[in-house]
Amino acid sequence: MASKKIFGIVLAGGEGKRLMPLTADRAKPAVPFAGGYRLIDFALSNLVNSGLRQVVVLTQYKSHSLDRHVSQTWRLSGMLGAYVASVPAQQRLGKRWFSGSADAILQSLNLLRDEKPDIVVVVGADHVYRMDFSQMIEAHIESGAGVTVAAIRQPISLADQFGVIQTDADDPTKIAEFLEKPKNPVGLADSPGEVLASMGNYVFDADVLMDAVIRDGEKPDSNHDMGGDIVPDFVSRGEAAVYDLNRNEVPGSTDRDKFYWRDVGTIDSFFEAHQDLISALPVFNLYNRDWPIFSQQLNSPPAKFVRDEGGAIGTVIDSIVSLGVVVVGGHVERSVVGPWTTIGSGAKLSDSIVFDQVTIGAGAVVQRAILDKEVTVSPGAQIGVDHDADRARGFTVTDSGITVVGKGERVD
């Protein structure tokens, strides 16, 4: 990495309404993922693995479990000035909450004035991916741009789901236009069937970022959003560059998961991201020792799969099972099971995501469902089998047929 002082900002203040009821009692970045992680662990792991040692997490809504997770899990050695710290909305500019991601930075400019970095890396807190930001920082410095936007190639048919970057015809590293969910985009010159979608990750010169959010804060018609207001302003002045994730080389990555990135902001995308993990050759590989995803490792016993009193064997196929799980004569298939979950005799769990401390009783059936922590499924009960019955009991059912049971609920 270049010999400049780098500062990291993780934007973690969103409400996460599209992930309800999983965000009914927690911030979206604190939602459990893949058994033993929280969503924010991916952003923080990428920053720390990239060499950043001063990182703040800007929090706002229902932040208690998120703040606790950051303080307990992300303790760096303070002797060398290294830290990862949660910073709540401080109301330094008046009695108000953050009104957007750019306003969150505006209200937290004291952090930049105190640390005086040369470069600021700004990332979202709810994406699943691996990325070496040191390479993007080098590209940013070489470009001379005020901001560099990380982008990933996506099929042109999905362009209306993303902020799409159109590059300059003469300089493919320069952003010519930033389009929000376009209907008829132009494909890439070297790959007409693809577009460059913004990943929500940015590298700024620190003084340029400070000036940009101050100017944006003075605009009454602005939504004060990084992607919707700040970046387009740089593009309009010809001061924005793009960094194609295809240029990024992460140690230990495979051809299969090298350019994996997923926004898990909806129940369906959250579910699909878990399905990406469980195959023998996963689309996203958690077992990369060269670029680990860090999280809190609880003091828990190993998982255990045992016979029930009648001799039926507890079985697990194509699944991820966390520490402390006990499967007693039940069957688990194509699922992710969180810590300290118990699955009883004859129970069947398939195509599902289970958070921590869930109890699934004997003979119960759970299929294509997401169970939040401390959910109890009574013996013989069914969830995900009859969607009308699920809705009648007050559970969320998506259009694609995923049933979601909120924290602490009981399924009878």
As annotated, the binding site for alpha-D-glucose 1-phosphate includes 163, 180-181, 198
Interatomic CA distance for residues 308 and 183, integer angstroms: 56
Residue 315 C-alpha from the chain's centroid: 30
* Nearest-angstrom CA–CA distance, 259 and 253: 9
Structure-derived torsion over alpha carbons of residues 196, 199, 200, 205, reported in degrees to the nearest 10: -70
* Contact in structure between 328 and 345 (CB atoms under 8 Å): yes
Cβ count within 10 A of residue 338: 25
Please state, in angstroms and rounded to a whole number, the distance separating the CA atoms of residues 124 and 10.
6
DSSP, collapsed to helix, strand or coil, labels residue 30 as helix
Task: Kindly state the tokens that stand for 346.
Answer: 């004859």
- DSSP secondary structure letters along 376-390: EE-TT-EESS-HHHH
**Residue 120 parent element (H or E):** strand 119-124
CA 81-87-88 angle, to 5 degrees, is 170
* Angle, alpha carbons 284-121-173 (nearest 5°): 80
**Which pair of structure tokens corresponds to residue 56?**
């703040």
Q: Which residues are annotated as a binding site?
A: 163, 180-181, 198
Q: Report d(CA 324, CA 335) in Å as an integer.
A: 16
Whether the CB-CB separation of 180 and 228 falls below 8 Å is answered with: yes
Closest to 13 (Cα-Cα) out of 111, 110, 120, 104: 104
CA–CA gap between residue 287 and residue 189 (Å, rounded): 35
- Cβ(325)–Cβ(341) under 8 Å? yes
Given a contact cutoff of 8 angstroms between Cβ atoms, the answer to whether 12 and 66 are in contact is yes
